[in-house]
């Protein structure tokens, strides 16, 4: 006979504790649901009662055809997914999910919006495939009856009330947006982390504008600059420099967690001193190696016009470790030669990976080379 009660005291206490933990978090979330018309959303946006943060606005990327099909869905009274907003202390709503849908409607109504707002013209419907005759219309040329129908179409709005705990607002925003529309990891961080505080994101932005840094990462390409990859490289530099023991692969969550920690003051981070280290590190790299710093070579010795991520952390972090000595060192060419010897040597080949062992070993190789150059 099976004894179903065996261990029941322990299991019961464990389950009871789990239920209490869940209940305590539920208490910290205050929500309400509203059915609102798109015309109400338009008015709220115009009156600054519905806010879409600039970093979030820039992620509006639906093509005109996709925007048009959404407008067609509204006219045909098709159900649409809910949108999520956070209620601020002064009662204003801030959009945290539903950007592409809300922006499409605002665009159709003539509001210039998003990453290329200066070039944006009112949306002319195209790609409507259920009622093709809608194609070619703008809001102003749409028949009055359809304008009214569109204005009166509604959507469920889920409101995270201002009484909710701020960290839970952040986690909700993060989870809602992680699977977003063609967003890079850093673009998501820039939107979500702001709910914990703006200091970390503003610091990354400041560092990314440093001219020496911009020069040595130039080969990442224009598209990656647009997707804030330069800011992700700044974050990677500081995370690997300061928090290598917690490095995890894949790296996306590791970087996000480090930014959370410095933003929420869970980790010591002296912004002034860290910026000085960053500035001096990339000034040295630029002045000695320039645009070739993080590029490899072909078999015949020609420098490739491509950025190599594993050179980036392998070189920049060890230099930062010795930057106080480097800035006063009399022969920078010795350090450059030591770095290039490792960079193009055979030993590094096995450690050009994102694994824990790969990143830790290559940083140690470069550190050893820099230290030996400084000690001679």
> What are the structural domain ranges in the chain?
10-163, 199-375
Would you say residue 128 has pLDDT above 50? yes
Would you say residue 297 has pLDDT above 60? yes
Q: Where are the beta strands (DSSP E) in the chain?
A: 31-37, 50-51, 83-87, 93-97, 154-160
Residue 48's CB is within 10 A of a number of other CB atoms, namely 8
DSSP 128: -
**Residue pair 321/345 in contact by the 8 Å Cβ criterion:** no
What is the model's pLDDT at position 31?
A: 74
Structure confidence at residue 218 as a pLDDT band (50, 70, 90): very high
pTM for this model (two decimals) = 0.69
**Could you read off the pLDDT of 155-198 as tens digits, one per residue?**
999 888 765 555 565 666 666 655 545 567 787 788 778 777 88
What is the model's pLDDT at position 162?
A: 67
What is the model's pLDDT at position 56?
A: 72
Kindly report the CA angle at 142 between 141 and 145, in degrees rounded to 5? Answer: 135
What strands, in cross-sheet order, belong to the sheet with 93-97? 31-37, 154-160, 83-87, 93-97, 50-51
Q: How far, in Å, CA of 24 to CA of 18, rounded? A: 10
What is the model's pLDDT at position 141?
A: 96
pLDDT averaged over every residue in the chain? 86
Mean pLDDT of 315-324: 97
What is the model's pLDDT at position 346?
A: 85
Structure confidence at residue 348 as a pLDDT band (50, 70, 90): confident
């Amino acid at each position: 006979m099976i004894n179903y009660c065996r261990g029941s005291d322990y299991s019961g206490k464990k389950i009871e504790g789990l239920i209490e933990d869940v209940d305590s978090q539920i208490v910290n979330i205050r929500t309400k649901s509203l059915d609102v018309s798109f015309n109400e959303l338009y008015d709220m946006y115009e009156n600054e009662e519905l806010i879409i943060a600039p970093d979030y606005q820039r992620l509006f990327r639906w093509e005109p055809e996709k925007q048009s099909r959404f407008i067609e869905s509204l006219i045909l009274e098709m159900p649409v997914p809910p949108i999520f907003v956070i209620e601020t202390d002064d009662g204003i709503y801030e959009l945290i999910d539903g950007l592409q849908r809300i922006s499409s409607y605002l665009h159709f109504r003539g509001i210039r919006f998003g990453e290329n707002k200066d070039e944006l013209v009112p949306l002319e419907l195209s790609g409507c495939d259920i009622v093709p005759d809608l194609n070619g219309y703008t809001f102003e040329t749409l028949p009055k009856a359809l304008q009214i129908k569109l204005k009166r179409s509604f959507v469920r709005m889920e409101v995270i009330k201002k009484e909710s705990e701020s960290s839970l607002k952040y986690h909700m925003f993060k989870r809602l947006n992680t699977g977003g529309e063609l967003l890079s990891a850093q673009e998501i961080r820039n939107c979500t982390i702001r709910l914990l505080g703006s200091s970390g994101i503003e610091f990354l932005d400041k560092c990314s504008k440093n001219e020496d840094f911009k020069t040595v990462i130039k080969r990442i390409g224009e598209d990656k600059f647009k997707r804030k990859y330069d800011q992700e490289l700044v974050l990677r530099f500081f995370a690997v420099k300061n928090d290598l023991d917690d490095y995890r692969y894949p790296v996306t969550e590791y970087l996000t967690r480090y930014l959370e920690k410095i933003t929420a003051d869970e980790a010591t981070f002296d912004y002034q001193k860290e910026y000085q280290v960053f500035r001096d590190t990339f000034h040295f790299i630029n002045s000695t190696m320039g645009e070739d710093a993080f590029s490899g070579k072909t078999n015949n010795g020609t420098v490739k016009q491509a950025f190599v991520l594993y050179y980036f952390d392998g070189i920049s972090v060890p230099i930062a470790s010795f930057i106080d000595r480097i800035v006063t060192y009399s022969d920078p060419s010795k350090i450059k030669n030591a770095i290039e010897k490792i960079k193009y040597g055979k030993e590094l080949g096995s450690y050009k990976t994102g694994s824990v062992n790969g990143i830790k070993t290559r940083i140690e190789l470069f550190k050893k080379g820099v230290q030996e150059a400084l000690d001679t």
